[in-house]
Structure 1
Amino acid sequence: MTVASIPEPGASRPDTGLLLIYGGTFDPVHNGHLAIARRARDELNAPVRLMPAADPPHRPPPGADARQRTHMLELATAGEPGLQVDRRELRRAARQPGVPSWTVDTLREIRAEIGTTAPVALLMGADSLLGLPTWHAWEHLLDLAHLVIADRPGNALDGQLPEVLAARLRDAWAVDAACLRERPAGWVWRLHQPLQAESATAVRGLIAAGGDWRGLVPGAVATYIAAHGLYGCATA
């Protein structure tokens, strides 16, 4: 089976391989983000589109602005086979200033491009899954894509899920990864990964405090943060 891609305009038909979408603020992108993307790419043998969120319309950027966050993401994925940055949420925000960029709208846009038969999966962390009932139109996400959950032993998925979420996912847990290629959407798959200590919050805190943070992000990203004085980093 071939690898899924979003075709150029005029393509004759959609590809039928699996496409993974990994959205987030990436503020900044760190080694933990890359570990999840690589593990999903390798275990599922599928390309990963890392999709930075646009700046919130009604408050200042969370740390770096969308242009800076996207540039750091491109630095981090340069030369990484199967990892690619997708700017669609930024483009949509530019077309529709002040309009929230909902994940469900992103998936609908992708479906309009690749059709309804190609399998698509949304890659997210376990904490994001637990917060899913707070997302806009979250009940429709599984109609548009599979969910791949970056999981590790001892996280909250091993306990009791919120009732409304458990009810929605009751018959959706895939028995193996091959299920994700058998239909376009609807399965939830737990992607087991090694423990990663990095978090964007921790990285920002270490930078602001003058701590030892450079080893938590790719080298090119560390250089960019320092050169631009992001997150309170003192420039030379």
Structure 2
Amino acid sequence: MLGGTFDPVHLGHLRSAVELREALALDRVHMVPAAMPPLRGEPRVSPADRLALLRLGIGDTPGLVADPRELERDGPSYSADTLASLRRELGPEARLVMALGHDAFLRLADWHEPERLFELAHVVVIDRPDHRASLPQPLVALLAGREVEEGEALMTRPAGRLLRLKLPSRMAISATEVRRRLAAGLSVRYLLPEAVETQLLSRGLYRHG
């Protein structure tokens, strides 16, 4: 599971999903747009538009799935509830992985029911090139005894471990910068999949502010 606002989806999101699947030999990666992210501001365009853009961006990429389950649920988009939903579908023995970026990882102890995340899944932190911060003490306590060094160690049990993963491309594309460029009428070529760029520009999404 790779969650996010995908506001809008860009090549960094998609390339990370592909490389995550390869690195851990995952059957598939569910890319899950958040409806109302509890710790972030309101997304700039509607959930339906963000999901449609994500589907356009994924296209026919093997193993990537645009998963709308958080958009179909009422209330805040808690990752623990999403993982519980996946766990119910896939069964108690399935190996579930929740991947997140380093910036989100630093706030993990502040998430809704953080211990429950590890009861339901492994947590994989995708290191970003521009993040080098020490861990806050509540996070250190949450992670005690969970960290492993290799992806193979995740696959020996269904949940409960933490892996920090460096992906080959490490694309430092920011959705904030993409939105800024769109609002200013500047080029976003090669930051987004071509189909996503075409749709954004033709509909004027993110054009104002």
Are the aligned partners of 1:30 and 1:217 in contact in 2 as well (CA < 8 Å)?
A: yes
In structure 2, the residue corresponding to 1:232 is in which secondary structure?
A: coil
Structure with the greater alpha carbon radius of gyration: 1
Superposition TM-score, scaled by structure 2 size: 0.92
2:172 alignment partner, one of 189, 194, 197: 197
- Tell me, yes or no, if structure 1 residue 34 matches structure 2 residue 14: yes
Q: CA deviation at 1:224?
A: 0.6
**Alignment partner, residue 147 of structure 2:** 173
Q: CA deviation at 1:117?
A: 1.5
**Alignment partner, residue 206 of structure 1:** 181
- Tell me, yes or no, if structure 1 residue 148 matches structure 2 residue 129: no
**Alignment partner, residue 84 of structure 1:** 65
Higher relative contact order (CA 8 A, sep 6+): 2
Q: CA deviation at 1:55?
A: 4.4
**Alignment partner, residue 96 of structure 1:** none
Are the aligned partners of 2:149 and 2:164 in contact in 1 as well (CA < 8 Å)?
A: no
2:44 alignment partner, one of 38, 63, 66: 63
Q: CA deviation at 1:79?
A: 1.0
**Alignment partner, residue 4 of structure 1:** none
C-alpha distance in structure 2 between counterparts of 1:24 and 1:143, whole Å? 21
C-alpha distance in structure 2 between counterparts of 1:206 and 1:180, whole Å? 39
Q: CA deviation at 1:213?
A: 1.2
Structure 2 gaps of 5+ residues are none
C-alpha distance in structure 2 between counterparts of 1:207 and 1:152, whole Å? 24
1:101 alignment partner, one of 60, 64, 77: 77
Structure 1 residues 178-202: Cα deviation after superposition (integer angstroms, max 9, x where no partner): 0111001011111202331211100
Are the aligned partners of 1:174 and 1:189 in contact in 2 as well (CA < 8 Å)?
A: yes
Relative to structure 1, the CA distance from residue 153 to residue 201 in structure 2 (aligned partners, 3 Å threshold; closer, same or farther) is closer
Letter in 2 for 1:169: L
In structure 2, the residue corresponding to 1:63 is in which secondary structure?
A: coil
Are the aligned partners of 1:55 and 1:65 in contact in 2 as well (CA < 8 Å)?
A: no
Relative to structure 1, the CA distance from residue 184 to residue 56 in structure 2 (aligned partners, 3 Å threshold; closer, same or farther) is closer
C-alpha distance in structure 1 between counterparts of 2:37 and 2:126, whole Å? 25
Relative to structure 1, the CA distance from residue 24 to residue 116 in structure 2 (aligned partners, 3 Å threshold; closer, same or farther) is same
- Tell me, yes or no, if structure 1 residue 226 matches structure 2 residue 207: no
1:120 alignment partner, one of 84, 96, 105: 96
Are the aligned partners of 1:49 and 1:86 in contact in 2 as well (CA < 8 Å)?
A: yes
% identical equivalent positions: 42
C-alpha distance in structure 1 between counterparts of 2:161 and 2:76, whole Å? 26
C-alpha distance in structure 1 between counterparts of 2:11 and 2:37, whole Å? 24
Relative to structure 1, the CA distance from residue 56 to residue 173 in structure 2 (aligned partners, 3 Å threshold; closer, same or farther) is closer
**Alignment partner, residue 35 of structure 2:** 54
**Alignment partner, residue 160 of structure 1:** 134
Q: CA deviation at 1:154?
A: 6.0
User: How many residue pairs are counted as aligned between the two chains?
Assistant: 205
Structure 1 gaps of 5+ residues are 1-20, 94-98
Pairs within 5 Å for 1:16-31: 21-31=1-11
Q: Which 4+ runs in 1 deviate beyond 2 A?
A: 152-156
